[in-house]
A and B are shown apart, each in its own frame.
Chain A
Amino acid sequence: MEVLYERLGRQAFGLAYRILGDGPSAEDVVQEVLLTVWRQSDRIDVARGRLNSFVMTLVHHKAIDALRVKRGQQARQVSVDFADVEKVGTDFSERVLQTIAGGDVREALTKLPEEQRRPIEMAYYEGLTHLEIATALDLPLGTVKSRLRLGLEKMRVALRSGSGDELRRS
């Protein structure tokens, strides 16, 4: 647990805090997730990068669920399971997860035009659905859908070249 905490505690808390905006709730989320992972650590044997990514995915889900409950909304029905940690898709996603650096992702996100960055942030950090984003930004639903996708695609290109550099350097 100590290793898990030292490796991911600050990152996990940073994400939960970014989403929930209050320390005690964010700590509750991190505590629940790290204990869940620790309890099941004998069930998982995966590369470090993938485990980090899985832990952060769990933190994201728990924090968003807590946020939605706080807002009086239903928790989302998107499930994440330990089996998911084994299922990492393409070579690209494998590379992204293995070589990811927070700064790269932050840079890729901040380089997006506001009109694409904002809907992505609302979806990921605020747990809003495409419809809720469209309502909040007073945009047609189709516009939101295309901006979410376009923004992610631009980030993919940025990260692809970033992780390529990383691979070439190593």
Chain B
Amino acid sequence: MNCDEVEDLLGAYALEALPGDLWADVSAHLATCSKHAEAGELRAVASALAFAAPEAQPSAALKTRLMDAVRAESSPPAAVPKRIGILGPLRQLASRRAIPYALAGALAVALIALVLTNLDGGDSTRPGRATVSLSGENSAGAVVYELEDGIIVLDAAGLKPLDAAHTYQLWSIASGKPSSLGLLGTAPNGEALAVVRVNINDIDSLAVTMEPAGGSIAPTTDPVLKGEA
């Protein structure tokens, strides 16, 4: 591309109104040619158009989402594991085993390829939920759904009820290192539902272990549930 061709395209270039390859050609020419002093100024004027759009008030929810994200990212790992929130209405739905479908329908959640399987070797043939093992006295299982980026829902069942001195604890494992995602409360019928902030792309697997009440800094028993992310 020569100088005349570049000059001819300078306005469209400044406004980025060129197909990618043509824009890159002009950009490459400008990087090595000092004859187009105006290019930088036209780019600045084009950039200034961003300020010509009238200001507008976003919904209050935007600020809430931003501040929530900031809090989630800036809070240091808790020395004492936090209890995972189990939401009341969701819990009721979970007890009917309908929650994953309700979530999937209402929120268009993507089912991620993460299934916690029963290490005791449970039955994985439940109709309609082939990825889950739930039935049988010793059979525990869970499905994990990605609710949105960075938030997962764990829907577990078949967990043996524990005495007051013990609790279930959920872990993420990355590069062999476990990090607590919090304590997992269970209903008397062995079901548990947890909504957890974790980026599924950053971890290798999830596990649930039985720990002393109050939880542990690192797992002290073999997992009762484990699955690859």
Whether A123 lies near B16 (C-beta < 8 A) is yes
Please tell me which one of the listed residues A57, A131, A148 contacts residue B50 in the complex, with CB atoms under 8 A apart: A57
Which residues from 82 to 123 on chain A have a C-beta closer than 8 Å to any C-beta of chain B?
A: 88-90, 92-93, 96-97, 100-102, 105-106, 109, 120, 123
Chain B residues near A47 (CB-CB < 8 A):
none
- The number of chain A residues touching the other chain, given as a range, is 35 or more
Whether A93 lies near B40 (C-beta < 8 A) is yes
Known: A77-B23, A130-B12. A14 touches B49 (CB 8 A): no
Please tell me which one of the listed residues B8, B47, B53 contacts residue A97 in the complex, with CB atoms under 8 A apart: B47
B23 to chain A, nearest CB (A): 6
> Complex Cα distance A133/B12, Å?
11
Closest B residue, CB atoms, query A88: B44
Q: Which of B67-75, B180-188, B198-206 contacts A (4 or more CB under 8 A)?
A: B67-75
Chain B residues near A129 (CB-CB < 8 A):
12, 17-19
> Complex Cα distance A19/B50, Å?
10
A57 to chain B, nearest CB (A): 6
Closest A residue, CB atoms, query B10: A149
Q: Kindly count the residue-residue contacts between A and B in the assembled complex, taking CB atoms under 8 Å apart.
A: 169
Whether, in the assembled complex, A159 has its beta carbon less than 8 Å from a beta carbon of chain B, the answer is yes
Per-position binary interface string of chain B over residues 1-40, scored 1 when its CB falls under 8 Å from any chain A CB and 0 otherwise: 0000000111110111111110110000000000001101
- The number of chain B residues touching the other chain, given as a range, is 35 or more
Which residues from 110 to 151 on chain A have a C-beta closer than 8 Å to any C-beta of chain B?
A: 120, 123-125, 128-131, 133, 142, 144-151
Whether A31 lies near B65 (C-beta < 8 A) is yes
Chain A residues near B18 (CB-CB < 8 A):
129-130
Whether A101 lies near B51 (C-beta < 8 A) is yes
Whether B17 lies near A133 (C-beta < 8 A) is yes
A-B pairs with lowest CB-CB distance, top 5: A149-B11, A77-B20, A93-B44, A89-B40, A148-B11
Give B contacts to A, CB under 8 Å. Answer: 8-12, 14-21, 23-24, 37-38, 40-59, 61-63, 65-67, 69-70, 73
Give A contacts to B, CB under 8 Å. Answer: 1-2, 5, 9-11, 13-15, 17-19, 23, 26-27, 30-31, 34-35, 38-39, 53, 56-57, 59-60, 76-78, 88-90, 92-93, 96-97, 100-102, 105-106, 109, 120, 123-125, 128-131, 133, 142, 144-153, 155-156, 159
